[in-house]
Structures are given as structure tokens and as C-alpha cells.
Amino acid sequence: MRKIKILLLTCLVGFSFTSCFDDLDDNIIPASTLEINDFVWKGMNYVYLYKPEVIALADDNFASNTEYQEYLNGFESPEVLFESLKYDAENVDRFSRITDNYYELQNSLGGTSLSTGVEFNFYYVPGSSSEIFGAITLVLNNSVADNLGLERGQIFRGVNGEPLTLGSIDDLGDAIYQDSFTLNFADYDNNGTTEPEDDTVVLNGESASLSKMTYTENPVHKTEVLNVSGTKIGYLMYNGFTFNFNDELNNAFGEFSAAGVTELVIDLRYNGGGSVQTAAYLGSMVTGQFTGEVYSKTFHNENLQSLDTNYLFTNSINGGGTINSLNLSRVYVLTTNRRTASASELVINSLKPYIDVVVIGENTVGKTQASQTVYDSPSLFTDENVNLSHKYAMQPLIANSTNVNDQLVPGTGLIPDIEISESPSTFGILGDINEPLLSAAIANMNFADRSFNAVNEGDKLRDVKHYISPLEQDMYID
């Protein structure tokens, strides 16, 4: 047992299995699979939130260094080893990931990626158990899709000229996530009824070809100040807790404050999460009366307990200016069931002990854990002195997040106070008072009894689960 314990201690000083430099000519020698596997195991052994639950990550799991190397050699790639170390990947850890190019990961966390700027939901064609159609849910500002004139609510029945069926849904995912693809549009007709059984989806001969380009998303997608019966209502569609855009988020609240907003609707229906610190800033912008009090907490494994953190309500952005706070005692949050995750759920959970949070939409994803980028470097959490012989990095779950009362977001998600599901035939214009979710929030503001619950039973289509990248449901520590 002694040998492997020594190996584990030395990994914190020199994280590489062997030297990555050619001392003679200073040429970088590409790392072997064994060396990268060594980085993966040691990193997970040290930082992984669920280390106690994974037998293979126990400090005394190997009797000798030889046994340890034989174990590493049993995995054909770092990806296979990484997946084997995740705890209950089907139910608990659905979110940890590894990349062979940390530059792409860094860009994505900062809001930059290859994108067409269009997001979709998929549904069964009414009356069919195999035919599928897609609906555009969101078109990002100034993106490829936006410049082509694509709009929320457009329907497509095919991709690259091939009709969508249940059997093609995996291929569909491959097609939509490749660099270029064509959408074949269709018309949706509800035939004048609220029941979906007689609805039809028919190709209309129109199409659009999209090619991904490097795109940086400003997550402050849309802001509106609505005047309803003399009440100033702020509407914010916020699509990601991206630390690079903290100032833009703060500026939006400056506009709300200047306009005299007294009610606020935050649209997080397509917000899969992001920076924990940015989530704390958002909570401070909504309120302002709780500066210095605990907003949320993070808890790590026994190796990293020194990193446990209380995130506080604050009146300033680190390295930025003063936070524009609305001092509200109530906020409305709009949600969907596969897109509202992690940092979005943290905001709801962390504000609830302090103010009235009315959730409208669907049950959220149920992700309470935070991740952080782990590099093959002496410090693990930064890319300083990183091992240059490979570009692998990990984004494992390293902490759990609770509110001030130590309450986690349930793994089954947060249940809405007012349940409403989006549907292709009822998609409205985001930020318009007639859009169903926003309309429900405005209507609720006029009720003294806010236990009102409205479920849209009509026009419910069966949606089709499709691949969503873990990056779209991430919550990370800066």
C-alpha cells in the first residue's frame, strides 16, 4: 500500500507521469495513453465529488505501482477510463465530461463556440409513433440562423432532405450537430381545435442551409420594460451564466432600475447554467436588501474542504462596478424541463429563503452539482505550467451547492408553481405579453392568492428526447 500512497502524494507536486519535454532539443514529446490515463485517475482521485462512492478511486485501491499501471493499461483511451470512474452515470453524474482540446472547452465556458445559432425541440407527428418533426425554439441574436431570417416557431419535417423518424433520431442528432446541414420546413395546422390528434405537419418545399461559424453569445438575449395597468414589469431572457458578460447583465438591471420596474420576470427556459459567481450576482441584482448574507454554499470532497465557499449577496462585481439592484420581494422565473438546469436552479433555490419566487413552466432538470476545469498541471485548477504534451482536460463534478438553509435542488428537479408546457402551435414572441408563459406571470401578479395553478391540458404534443450536451447543463466554479 505504501508505494501507491507515495505516488498519490507526489502527483500534487508533479502531476505528469513522466517528463513531457525532451531535455536535449526542447521538443515536446506527445504524451502516451498511459500518461494521460495517469492524469485522469489522479485528477479524479483528488477532486471528484463522488470519490467515496467509486471503489476504483480509493487511495488504497492498488497494492503497488505495478498494479496501478496495469490498471491504467486496461483502458484503451482516457475517455473510456474517465467514463468508468463516474458515479451512477445514468442517474447521478450525468454531467462530468472530458475533452481532448481544452482550448475549445475554455472558449465554450466563455460563451464562444462553433454554432448556427438555432435551438430545437422535437415532437412526434400527431397520430404517429414513429414520425417526428422539429420546432425552432430559439434563434440567437446576430447568428447564422438570425441572419438567414429563421424564427422561433418555424417547423421542419426533414434534415438534409431526409424525413425525420424515430429510427433516425440518433442520425438526426449527428446531422444537426455537424458543421453544415439543411432544414426542410413544413407547415403545422391545428385544424382549428385545441386537441393535437387531428393536427397535421406537411412539408412546404422551403428549406434553409446552415453552416456553423465561430460565435460568441451575449446571454442577455432580450430585455423589455412592459407597462401593464400602470405597473412597470421588467422582462429578461437570460440564456447562460457567462462570466464574460457580467457587465451586460448588470447593465440590463440598470435599465430596469432607471425605468422604475417593480415586478420582474426572468426567462430561464433555455438557460442550462454557467458560473456560480454570476448566479450570485444575479440574485444580488434582483434583491439588494440582503448584502453580506449567505446566498448559496458549495461543499467539496474531503480533499478539497478548504475550498468550501459561502457565496454572499453583494453590492459589487469583482473587478467591475456597483451592482444595479431592484430590491424586490418577489420574482417570476420561467422554466422548461430539459433546458433549465444547474445555475438557473441555483438562483431559484437560493432566492427562495429570502423572497417569493414564483416558478412558471415545467419541472426543471435537477442538477445541484458544480464542476471545475481540471488541467494536467501542478495546480490542477489552472492552466499555468500545464503539461504541453497533450490537450486533455476534465470538467468533473467537484462540489454540491445548497441554499442558506442547506437545501439541495432535488435530483428530480424543481416543481413549478404554475405548470405550462410550450407547444409548437402556441409558441409566442419572447417578451410579448401574449406569450403563454409570460402572460401567465403577468396574470398571476394581479391575484392576491398566488397559489393559483393553471395547467394547459390542451394541445400537448409528445416530445422526443434528444441529445443535449452536458455543457448546456453545466454549473461551474470560476
- pLDDT tens column, 153-183: 999 999 999 888 876 555 555 666 788 999 9
In one-letter notation, the amino acid at residue 235 is Y
- pLDDT tens column, 73-125: 999 999 999 999 999 998 899 889 999 999 988 888 888 888 999 998 888 89
Cα 224 to Cα 239: distance, rounded to the nearest angstrom: 15
pLDDT of residue 406: 97
pLDDT band at 331 (very low <50, low <70, confident <90, very high): very high
pLDDT above 60 for 133 = yes
In one-letter notation, the amino acid at residue 468 is I
Q: Which residues pair with 232 in a beta bridge?
A: 227
pLDDT of residue 462: 73
Q: Which domains does the chain have, with CATH numbers?
A: 2-99 (no CATH), 112-215 (2.30.42.10), 220-456+467-476 (3.90.226.10)
* CB-based contact 305:271 (threshold 8 Å): no
pLDDT of residue 464: 74
Cα 158 to Cα 156: distance, rounded to the nearest angstrom: 6
Cα dihedral: 297, 299, 303, 304 (round 10): -20
- pLDDT tens column, 411-458: 899 999 999 998 887 899 999 999 999 999 999 997 444 443 444 444
DSSP 75-126: -SSHHHHHHHTSSSTTTT----EEES-HHHHHHHHTTEEEE-SEEEEEEEPT
pLDDT band at 318 (very low <50, low <70, confident <90, very high): very high
pLDDT band at 198 (very low <50, low <70, confident <90, very high): confident
